[in-house]
Amino acid sequence: MTRQKVGFQGELGAFSEMAVLEYFGNVAEPIPHGWFDDVFRAVEQGSCDFGILPIENTLAGSIHINYDLMLEHNLQIVGEIILRIVHNLMVKPGVRREELRKIQSHPKALEQCVQFLRRNSKLQPETVYDTGGAAKMLSEGNAEDIGVIASTRAAEHYKLEILEAGLEDNTQNYTRFLVLAKGKSPSNGECTKTSIVFTVPHEPGMLFKAMSAFALRDISISKIESRPLIGSPWEYLFYLDFQGDPNSALCSRALNHLQEIATEFKLLGSYSEGKIVDNV
């Protein structure tokens, strides 16, 4: 069986690695990268077959850098997966809670555990580049007054002890990950979601007219996100997800309608709506 090389940002044990394994199963070889744009380049240059990147979290919101990188790089969204995020406080084996002075994790993980940090105000939060990276640094270092917030997989991989599970502010804590590839996903009637990006003239009512391309055809928009249009202050790009296959007659007419209004338009991908993975 040929294994698929799948790039992700972070170290082994990161939630992104869990998303790789949940989406691809045993055929995946997760390949860690230091930065999000490293993952894009790895897929473009062929050293990875796919990339998986987080795009939004139900508590902390969107990961804006990845929206920007999707426009900058020429990859297609070919799938998605939604992963339940459970944060755990972990330490070196034998370290007691009262010995801790600092808590380290990725900034987004800390944002998702604000209530825990407030209840434990004597613990100083420190940001690091990755949840799995925080666990790795703790396991390789000598400090015994540091705890980290990371996944159960990180605890297993780096042989750390979990002191408390479920630190997130709300149990409905999910991250949506996008699967990226160089080629387009084949349209076989199973594509239920489409992502696009577009701009419209900076004139009154233009966004309303753009939305009408979908509303007039009863096409459901599941998300719209604005990002600054670089070089044009106070003008914006709009990233939009809608339910449907762009090759269907109805959606094709909607996109043609939109492109009559838009000054820029790009189809980011069409894919099957992602499964929700709770058992993490």
User: What are 65-77's pLDDT values in tens digits?
Assistant: 999 999 999 999 9
What pLDDT is stored for residue 187 in this prediction? 47
What pLDDT is stored for residue 60 in this prediction? 86
SS3 state at 10: coil
Residue ranges and CATH numbers for the domains of the chain are 4-83+173-183 (3.40.190.10), 88-165 (3.40.190.10), 193-271 (3.30.70.260)
Of 210, 190, 199, 195, the closest CA to residue 241 belongs to: 195
2 labelled catalytic = no
263 labelled catalytic = no
Compute how many other C-beta atoms are within 10 angstroms of the C-beta atom of residue 172: 9
Token duo for residue 156:
């297993």
Of 279, 275, 218, the closest CA to residue 243 belongs to: 218
Judge whether residue 100 has pLDDT over 90: yes
What pLDDT is stored for residue 185 in this prediction? 58
The model's pLDDT over 22-56, given as tens digits with 9 standing for 90+, comes to: 999 989 999 999 999 999 999 999 999 999 999 99
Catalytic residue, chosen from 40, 50, 177, 238, is 177
Compute how many other C-beta atoms are within 10 angstroms of the C-beta atom of residue 107: 12
Catalytic residue, chosen from 131, 175, 194, 199, is 175
d(C-alpha 8, C-alpha 235), whole Å: 31
Amino acid type, 272: S
CA 135 to chain centre: 20
What pLDDT is stored for residue 278 in this prediction? 87
Of 137, 37, 129, the closest CA to residue 90 belongs to: 137
**Residue ranges with strand state E in the chain:** 4-9, 28-33, 50-57, 61-62, 76-84, 88-91, 102-105, 124-127, 146-150, 161-165, 174-181, 193-199, 221-228, 236-243, 264-271, 276-277
User: The whole model's pTM is what?
Assistant: 0.91
